[in-house]
Each structure stands twice: as structure tokens, then as C-alpha cells.
Amino acid sequence: MTNVQGVSLDLPTPDGTADAYFAHPDDGAPHPGVLLYMDAFGLRPRLEEMARRLAGHGYAVLVPNVLHRAGRAPLVELPEHINPAERPELFHQLMPLIEALTPELAMRDAGAYLDWLAASPLVADGPVGATGYCMGGVLALRTAAAYPDRVAAVGSFHAGRLVTEAEDSPHRLLDRITAELYFGHADQDASLPTEQIQALERALDVAGIRYRSELYEGAHHGYTQADTAAYNAEASERHWQALLDLFGRTL
């Protein structure tokens, strides 16, 4: 593990300024870029810590506040330990903000995030990786479909609603993707039941994409997030291994 630096910054998007966090090895050299997409609870110390851990393996990691139109992070007051069962109002506050982030708006932002990475002297030339958690897993997949020449690898962890009836359901975009994909599904995740996982895998096979889709037994939606009740240390470490293997092969 190398020493890393982390900095909070503001980056321009077509729809205003997005607050973000950027972590990178502190050797001053360019490293492969990674776009890390947040879960619903947003940009906060846990995600900054994850960005630094990834940077320690030799990556330049950008974590944008994807809900920047609604304000700077944190958008809601978060307890130190997040348990939605005890704080149901958190989701009531966050869901309208999440639903307002349409795929079109999110992908317009994604272009700005990718441009920022491409312009940074601390980011190596060439395609980047994307990793996302919960809603971020969907955003990472959409980004690979919208910018296939710029995203070489995607890790999607405990993402829900990957297969829906919508015209622009993530599984309908797979034929645009050139990246290698990895999915770490939680088996205790009501937002992605078994039949949806099977439908996703069929769509991946049809699209001819290089991918791995794995079920993490005993893991709940949100298992990577150490500041939440869903955290599962064993599943989280498995996710790190899978993500580092993926980026090691592709970036």
C-alpha cells in the first residue's frame, strides 16, 4: 500500500458545481483513474475512506456527490451509525432527490466527471474504471454504456433494480458496453431478487460481455458500508478482492 492524499474539491458540470472527493497516491505520478459512485447516503467519511483504500493500491479515485443539484453533501443529517429501520425518515428525505436524478441528467454529469479525470495530471491517460454501491452500481453500469470508449471496467456491488420494465432499464443497455463487468450481489437483497439476477445474466450472455456475477451469501443490501447496519465485514473484504482483481486485469 502506498501513501495517499485525499482532497475535497468542486468540479464543474453542465448543471452547476458538484462537490467531490479525490484520493490518489502521493507520489505526484499519474495513476489509472477510477470513478467511485456513492450509495444513497452519499458522500461522507466512509466513502472517502474507501476512496483512500483504493488509492493505496495505485489508483486516482474521484467520488462525486451525484445529488449535487439538491445541495452539497451531506444532504441529510446522518447518524454515525446508519440504521434505516431506526431512522425511516432518512429514505423519505432521500428518495425524492434520488428519483429526480434521471438517467439523462446522471449521464450528462458522468461526462463531466470523466472529463475532469482526463484533464487531471494525476490521472493516467486511457480508459478508467468505475465502481458503484447500491444506486451507484446502476450509475456505474449506465456510465459504461454511455461512454463505452472511456470505461474499461465496472464493479457493481449490492445494486438494485438492474432489471426493470423501463425502456432504459440497465439490462437493456448492455449491448453498448465494451468494459469488463463484475457484479457482487447480496443474496438478502429485496431490490434484486433471484429472477432479476437470472434475467441480468441472460442479457449479459446475449450481449457477449466479459463478466462475473457472484452471489454473496448472507449479505444484505449495503454490505460494503461500514457505517450502516447492513455492513458485513467478510462480504466487504470479498468485494475488495474482486474489485482489485478486476482493475488489476483491465486498468
Return the C-alpha torsion angle 78, 21, 49, 96, nearest 10. Answer: 30
Q: Check 109, 221, 227, 239 and give the catalytic one.
A: 221
Q: Tell me whether residue 175 is one of the annotated catalytic residues.
A: no
Sign of CA dihedral 198, 202, 205, 211: negative
Q: Is 158 a catalytic residue?
A: no
Q: Which one is catalytic: 31, 109, 134, 227?
A: 134
3-state secondary structure 45-56: HHHHHHHHHHHC
Q: Which residues contact 165 (CB under 8 A, 6 or more apart)?
A: none
Q: Using CB atoms within 10 A of its CB, is residue 195 exposed (0-12), middle (13-18) or buried (19+)?
A: exposed
Residue 189 a catalytic site member:
yes
Q: What are the angstrom distances between the C-alpha of 128 and each of 87, 179, 188, 206, 250?
A: 36, 10, 31, 25, 9
Q: In sequence order, what DSSP letters do the residues of 180-202 get, joined into one string?
A: EEEEEEEEE-TTS-HHHHHHHHH
Residue from 39, 57, 68, 189 carrying the catalytic annotation: 189
Kindly write down the DSSP assignment for every residue of 124-167, as one continuous string. -SS-EEEEEETHHHHHHHHHHHH-TTTEEEEEEES---SS-SST
What residues are annotated to the active site?
134, 189, 221
